[in-house]
């Protein structure tokens, strides 16, 4: 299994510094937060995209994903539908230009579950051909209105396209009351990669160093290890080209939203070591 971290933990940090951190702490990949306040975002020009891709490639660090903020299950009028379609298109094109295999999107369905799920499935199906053309997978994160694997699977099942899948955020499935083994069981046919994190409690979700909180990370990694032993590399290799994801764990440390949280750089190497210990213990 390979390790990545999200730039949500180092908001606004220049790409060269992000690459330096990844190499220095032994991470094989980085999830890039694609927001206008960050160095990498959909409005980035062609030359700038090539430069970013080159910096990562030269260092031997993968751009794991472009973490977008499109909400595919939100209620929208006709103009909003067009804006969302364009946003999804731009995220897919950015990921392809950076050599990233994944794009992250959110549900954002609010309190209208049935209509939200139908809308999300339709919108994800619409962007799937472009994703296939560009060699990218669009991943719907377990988040907000659809926190659990079961909820996300209700959207992905009707989509029925290999270039649309799931991103398992372990915090949200836990907040939704779903056991790690159950999340993995329902998401396995769709899973791209797994976001890990740690918090003090359901009421206090400020980011903590991995292992310092209450999230069931040992159970998450044990479930992944059991699936790996039974079926091969996890997540399940469902990409159209047969390569699969290679089994990525990405640490999303939400420093951007909690400025008083400890700085990420000094925590990176201990976090990777903690995850490796959990994997080793899980066999």
User: For the chain, which residues make up each domain, given as ranges?
Assistant: 2-282
13 SS3 class: coil
DSSP assignment, residue 203?
Answer: S
Q: H or E stretch including 194? A: strand 191-196
Residues of the chain falling short of pLDDT 70: 232-246
The pLDDT score that the predictor gives to residue 246 is 52
For the chain, the residue count is 283
- Where are any strands of DSSP class E within 37-145? 62-71, 102-106, 137-141
Q: Are 228 and 2 in contact (CB under 8 A)?
A: no
**175-210 CB burial, b ≥16 within 10 A, e <16:** bbebebeebbebbbebbbbbbbbbbeeeeebebbbb
Write the CB contacts of 216 (distance below 8 Å, at least 6 apart in sequence): 170, 174, 180
Round to the nearest angstrom and report the end-to-end CA distance of the chain. Answer: 12
Instruction: Tell me the whole-structure pTM to 2 decimals.
Output: 0.95
The pLDDT score that the predictor gives to residue 233 is 55
The pLDDT score that the predictor gives to residue 130 is 98
- Classify strands 137-141 and 2-6 as parallel, antiparallel or unpaired: unpaired
CATH number for 2-282: choose from 3.40.50.150, 3.40.47.10, 3.20.20.150, 3.30.390.30.
3.20.20.150
Rounded distance between C-alpha atoms, residue 227 and residue 251, angstroms: 20
Per-residue pLDDT tens digits for 73-115 = 999 999 999 999 999 999 999 999 999 999 999 999 998 878 9
The pLDDT score that the predictor gives to residue 229 is 78
């Amino acid at each position: 299994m390979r390790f990545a971290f999200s730039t949500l933990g180092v908001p606004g940090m220049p790409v060269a510094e992000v690459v330096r951190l990844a190499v220095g702490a032994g991470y094989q990949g980085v999830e890039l937060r694609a927001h206008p306040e960050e160095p990498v975002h959909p409005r980035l020009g062609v030359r700038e995209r090539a430069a970013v891709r080159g910096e990562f490639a030269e260092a031997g660090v993968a751009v794991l994903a472009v973490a977008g903020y499109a909400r595919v299950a939100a209620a929208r009028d006709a103009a909003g539908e067009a804006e969302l379609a364009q946003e999804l298109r731009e995220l897919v094109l950015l990921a392809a230009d950076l050599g990233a295999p994944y794009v992250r999107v959110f549900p954002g369905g609010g309190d209208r579950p049935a209509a939200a799920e139908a809308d999300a499935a339709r919108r994800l199906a619409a962007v799937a051909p472009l994703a296939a053309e560009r060699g990218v997978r669009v991943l719907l994160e377990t988040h907000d209105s659809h926190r659990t694997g079961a909820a996300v699977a209700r959207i992905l099942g009707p989509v029925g396209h290999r270039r649309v899948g799931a991103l398992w955020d372990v915090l949200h499935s836990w907040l939704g009351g779903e056991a790690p083994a159950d999340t993995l069981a329902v998401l396995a046919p769709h899973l791209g990669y797994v976001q890990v994190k740690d918090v003090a409690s359901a009421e206090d979700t400020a980011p903590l160093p991995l292992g310092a909180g209450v999230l069931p990370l040992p159970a998450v990694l044990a479930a992944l290890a059991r699936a790996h032993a039974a079926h091969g590399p996890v997540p399940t290799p469902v990409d159209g080209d047969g390569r699969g994801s290679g089994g990525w764990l990405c640490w999303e440390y939400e420093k951007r939203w909690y400025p008083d949280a400890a700085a990420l750089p000094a925590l990176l190497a201990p976090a990777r070591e903690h995850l490796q210990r959990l994997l080793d213990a899980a066999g």
